[in-house]
Amino acid sequence: MKLGFDYDGVVADSSQLKASLAMELYGLHIPPDKFHFHILHKEGVLTTAQYAELTEMIYHRRPVAARMVPVWNAIKYIRLLLLDVSHSVTVITSRDPEASLIAEEWTLSQHVRPKLVGVGPGNSKAEVLAGFDVYVDDDVSKLASLVGVVRHLFLLSWPYNAHEDVSGIARRVASWDDLYEAIQALELEGSQQ
Protein backbone atom coordinates (compact mmCIF):
# COMPACT_ATOMS: atom_id res chain seq x y z
CA MET A 1 0.00 0.00 0.00
CA LYS A 2 1.03 3.59 -0.52
CA LEU A 3 1.25 5.12 2.93
CA GLY A 4 1.62 8.83 3.69
CA PHE A 5 2.30 10.54 6.99
CA ASP A 6 2.42 14.17 8.04
CA TYR A 7 5.67 15.14 9.79
CA ASP A 8 4.88 17.59 12.62
CA GLY A 9 2.47 16.02 15.10
CA VAL A 10 2.51 12.57 13.47
CA VAL A 11 6.16 11.55 13.14
CA ALA A 12 7.87 14.27 15.19
CA ASP A 13 6.44 15.55 18.45
CA SER A 14 6.89 19.23 17.68
CA SER A 15 4.42 20.26 20.41
CA GLN A 16 6.79 19.01 23.06
CA LEU A 17 9.63 21.09 21.62
CA LYS A 18 7.38 24.14 21.27
CA ALA A 19 6.36 23.78 24.92
CA SER A 20 10.02 23.53 26.04
CA LEU A 21 10.94 26.65 24.05
CA ALA A 22 7.91 28.57 25.37
CA MET A 23 9.21 27.87 28.89
CA GLU A 24 12.84 28.75 28.06
CA LEU A 25 12.08 31.92 26.09
CA TYR A 26 8.95 33.31 27.75
CA GLY A 27 8.67 31.43 31.06
CA LEU A 28 5.32 30.01 29.95
CA HIS A 29 4.19 26.68 31.26
CA ILE A 30 2.08 25.08 28.52
CA PRO A 31 1.34 21.33 28.64
CA PRO A 32 2.85 19.95 25.40
CA ASP A 33 -0.24 18.02 24.36
CA LYS A 34 -2.33 21.20 24.64
CA PHE A 35 0.07 23.16 22.44
CA HIS A 36 -2.04 24.43 19.61
CA PHE A 37 -1.41 27.97 18.47
CA HIS A 38 -4.98 28.93 17.50
CA ILE A 39 -6.27 27.87 20.91
CA LEU A 40 -3.39 29.48 22.85
CA HIS A 41 -3.70 32.69 20.86
CA LYS A 42 -7.44 32.88 21.44
CA GLU A 43 -6.86 32.43 25.17
CA GLY A 44 -4.28 35.24 25.15
CA VAL A 45 -1.47 32.91 26.26
CA LEU A 46 0.84 33.31 23.28
CA THR A 47 1.28 36.17 20.78
CA THR A 48 1.65 35.72 17.03
CA ALA A 49 5.22 37.09 17.24
CA GLN A 50 6.17 34.62 19.97
CA TYR A 51 4.74 31.71 18.00
CA ALA A 52 6.54 32.86 14.87
CA GLU A 53 9.81 32.95 16.82
CA LEU A 54 9.24 29.44 18.22
CA THR A 55 8.42 27.88 14.87
CA GLU A 56 11.30 29.70 13.16
CA MET A 57 13.71 28.16 15.69
CA ILE A 58 12.22 24.66 15.37
CA TYR A 59 12.05 24.73 11.58
CA HIS A 60 15.31 26.43 10.73
CA ARG A 61 17.85 26.18 13.55
CA ARG A 62 19.57 22.81 13.49
CA PRO A 63 20.66 22.71 17.16
CA VAL A 64 17.03 23.36 18.17
CA ALA A 65 15.60 20.98 15.54
CA ALA A 66 17.93 18.25 16.83
CA ARG A 67 16.13 18.37 20.18
CA MET A 68 12.93 17.08 18.57
CA VAL A 69 11.61 13.82 20.00
CA PRO A 70 9.53 11.35 17.98
CA VAL A 71 5.82 10.87 18.55
CA TRP A 72 5.53 7.82 20.82
CA ASN A 73 6.36 4.65 18.84
CA ALA A 74 6.34 6.46 15.48
CA ILE A 75 9.88 5.42 14.60
CA LYS A 76 9.33 1.81 15.66
CA TYR A 77 6.31 1.45 13.35
CA ILE A 78 7.80 3.43 10.44
CA ARG A 79 10.74 1.04 10.60
CA LEU A 80 8.38 -1.96 10.52
CA LEU A 81 6.38 -0.50 7.61
CA LEU A 82 9.58 0.24 5.67
CA LEU A 83 10.67 -3.38 6.12
CA ASP A 84 7.47 -4.58 4.46
CA VAL A 85 8.14 -4.53 0.73
CA SER A 86 4.43 -4.33 -0.03
CA HIS A 87 4.38 -0.76 1.34
CA SER A 88 5.84 2.55 0.26
CA VAL A 89 6.27 5.06 3.08
CA THR A 90 6.28 8.79 2.38
CA VAL A 91 6.35 11.69 4.81
CA ILE A 92 4.58 14.72 3.33
CA THR A 93 5.08 18.02 5.12
CA SER A 94 3.89 21.59 4.54
CA ARG A 95 7.30 22.86 5.63
CA ASP A 96 9.36 25.05 3.30
CA PRO A 97 12.30 23.43 1.46
CA GLU A 98 14.95 24.26 4.09
CA ALA A 99 12.75 23.14 7.00
CA SER A 100 11.87 19.99 5.05
CA LEU A 101 15.57 19.23 4.64
CA ILE A 102 16.06 19.66 8.39
CA ALA A 103 13.11 17.29 8.96
CA GLU A 104 14.73 14.76 6.62
CA GLU A 105 18.03 15.04 8.49
CA TRP A 106 16.16 14.43 11.73
CA THR A 107 14.48 11.26 10.40
CA LEU A 108 17.90 9.99 9.29
CA SER A 109 19.21 10.69 12.82
CA GLN A 110 16.44 8.35 14.00
CA HIS A 111 17.85 5.67 11.66
CA VAL A 112 14.85 5.53 9.36
CA ARG A 113 14.78 6.59 5.76
CA PRO A 114 11.26 7.23 4.49
CA LYS A 115 10.86 9.37 1.38
CA LEU A 116 10.15 12.96 2.49
CA VAL A 117 8.32 15.53 0.37
CA GLY A 118 7.89 19.18 1.34
CA VAL A 119 5.02 20.89 -0.46
CA GLY A 120 5.58 24.28 1.17
CA PRO A 121 3.39 26.29 3.58
CA GLY A 122 -0.20 26.81 2.47
CA ASN A 123 0.07 24.38 -0.44
CA SER A 124 -2.17 21.36 -0.89
CA LYS A 125 -0.79 17.89 -0.40
CA ALA A 126 -3.37 16.47 -2.84
CA GLU A 127 -1.09 16.30 -5.87
CA VAL A 128 1.54 14.29 -3.99
CA LEU A 129 -1.07 12.09 -2.33
CA ALA A 130 -3.11 11.20 -5.42
CA GLY A 131 -3.52 7.41 -5.52
CA PHE A 132 -2.32 6.89 -1.93
CA ASP A 133 -4.10 4.26 0.17
CA VAL A 134 -3.48 5.85 3.56
CA TYR A 135 -2.68 9.32 4.85
CA VAL A 136 -2.36 10.37 8.50
CA ASP A 137 -2.42 13.94 9.82
CA ASP A 138 -3.03 15.65 13.16
CA ASP A 139 -4.97 18.48 11.48
CA VAL A 140 -8.59 17.80 10.46
CA SER A 141 -8.70 20.66 7.96
CA LYS A 142 -5.79 19.12 6.04
CA LEU A 143 -7.60 15.77 5.98
CA ALA A 144 -10.90 17.35 4.89
CA SER A 145 -9.21 18.62 1.72
CA LEU A 146 -8.05 15.09 0.89
CA VAL A 147 -11.40 13.31 0.97
CA GLY A 148 -11.71 11.50 -2.37
CA VAL A 149 -7.96 11.79 -2.99
CA VAL A 150 -6.69 9.24 -0.47
CA ARG A 151 -8.72 6.08 0.20
CA HIS A 152 -8.25 5.93 3.96
CA LEU A 153 -7.66 9.06 6.01
CA PHE A 154 -6.68 8.96 9.67
CA LEU A 155 -6.47 11.63 12.35
CA LEU A 156 -3.91 11.02 15.06
CA SER A 157 -5.61 12.14 18.26
CA TRP A 158 -4.12 14.78 20.52
CA PRO A 159 -5.88 16.80 23.20
CA TYR A 160 -5.60 19.83 20.85
CA ASN A 161 -7.72 18.12 18.16
CA ALA A 162 -10.03 16.16 20.50
CA HIS A 163 -12.92 18.63 19.93
CA GLU A 164 -12.84 18.25 16.14
CA ASP A 165 -15.56 16.29 14.37
CA VAL A 166 -14.02 13.86 11.91
CA SER A 167 -17.21 12.15 10.72
CA GLY A 168 -17.28 11.77 6.96
CA ILE A 169 -13.62 12.80 6.77
CA ALA A 170 -11.29 10.48 8.65
CA ARG A 171 -10.97 7.81 11.25
CA ARG A 172 -9.50 8.77 14.61
CA VAL A 173 -6.61 6.74 16.00
CA ALA A 174 -5.36 7.22 19.54
CA SER A 175 -1.77 6.13 18.95
CA TRP A 176 0.72 4.63 16.51
CA ASP A 177 -0.13 1.22 17.97
CA ASP A 178 -3.75 1.71 16.85
CA LEU A 179 -2.62 3.11 13.53
CA TYR A 180 -0.34 0.18 12.76
CA GLU A 181 -3.13 -2.23 13.64
CA ALA A 182 -5.54 -0.35 11.34
CA ILE A 183 -3.02 -0.42 8.46
CA GLN A 184 -2.50 -4.14 8.92
CA ALA A 185 -6.29 -4.69 8.89
CA LEU A 186 -6.57 -2.71 5.63
CA GLU A 187 -3.78 -4.78 4.11
CA LEU A 188 -5.55 -7.98 5.08
CA GLU A 189 -8.85 -6.66 3.70
CA GLY A 190 -7.13 -5.77 0.42
CA SER A 191 -5.51 -9.18 0.07
CA GLN A 192 -8.86 -10.92 0.56
CA GLN A 193 -10.62 -8.93 -2.15
Is 13 a binder of Mg ion (CB under 5 A)? no
- Which span (4-12, 40-48, 68-76, 179-187) binds Mg ion, by CB under 5 A? 4-12
Q: Which is nearer to Mg ion, 84 or 144 (CB)?
A: 144
Q: Which is nearer to Mg ion, 6 or 13 (CB)?
A: 6
Indicate the residue type of 93: T
Q: Which is nearer to Mg ion, 103 or 112 (CB)?
A: 103
CB of 94 to Mg ion, least distance (A): 8
- What residues numbered 27-66 form the site for Mg ion, per CB under 5 A? none
Collapsing DSSP to helix, strand or coil, 46 comes out as: coil
The residues with which 153 forms a beta bridge, in sequence order, are 135
Is 138 a binder of Mg ion (CB under 5 A)? yes
Q: Which is nearer to Mg ion, 9 or 114 (CB)?
A: 9
Q: Which is nearer to Mg ion, 57 or 142 (CB)?
A: 142
CB 126 within 8 A of CB 138: no
- Which span (55-63, 136-144, 146-154, 174-182) binds Mg ion, by CB under 5 A? 136-144
The residues with which 136 forms a beta bridge, in sequence order, are 5, 154
* DSSP notation for 139-151: -HHHHHTTBTTBS
List 3, 8, 13, 150, residue binding Mg ion (CB under 5 A) = 8
Instruction: 179-184: list long-range contacts, CB under 8 Å, 24+ apart.
Output: 179/77, 179/136, 179/154, 180/77, 180/80, 180/81, 182/154, 183/1, 183/3, 183/81, 183/134
Residues that bind Mg ion (CB under 5 A): 6, 8-9, 138
